[in-house]
Amino acid sequence: MRLPQKKEKTCLLDPSKVTLTPEGLTGEGVEQSGRYEDFLEDLLMEYRQVLQQMENLPIKGRSRSYRFMELINAKMRNESVFSRRSSKGLTIDKD
């Protein structure tokens, strides 16, 4: 369910979906945004693990192994998500 509604070149969130507390904002809109950020952090962690695993494979015959092909596919899948985020103006620090 999309909470922010598109309005021309911006998005608006229904004020009933957000509550201001002394600690900051809470509510359904903030929770959904937090879950999305958690998803992206998990994806980034997986991406870094894939790169590390690729680096640790033995050099000899690495590009022909089934495991290497699995890792290449995972890397490309993650990079596709990162690329789509970038196309929407959302950056991610992969380093």
pLDDT digits (tens, 9 = 90+) for 70-89: 999 999 999 998 888 888 77
- The range of the structural domain enclosing residue 77 comes to 43-88
Q: Which of 9-18, 22-31, 36-45, 57-66 has the lowest mean pLDDT?
A: 57-66
**Among 38, 19, 37, CA closest to 28:** 19
Task: Tell me the pLDDT of the chain averaged across its residues.
Answer: 84
How many domains does the structure of the chain reveal? 1
What is the pTM (predicted TM-score) of this model? 0.71
Residue 48 lies in a domain: yes
Q: Residue 94's pLDDT band (boundaries 50, 70, 90)?
A: low
Residue 82 lies in a domain: yes
Inter-CA distances, 85 with 24, 26, 40, 46, 73, Å: 26, 24, 10, 17, 19
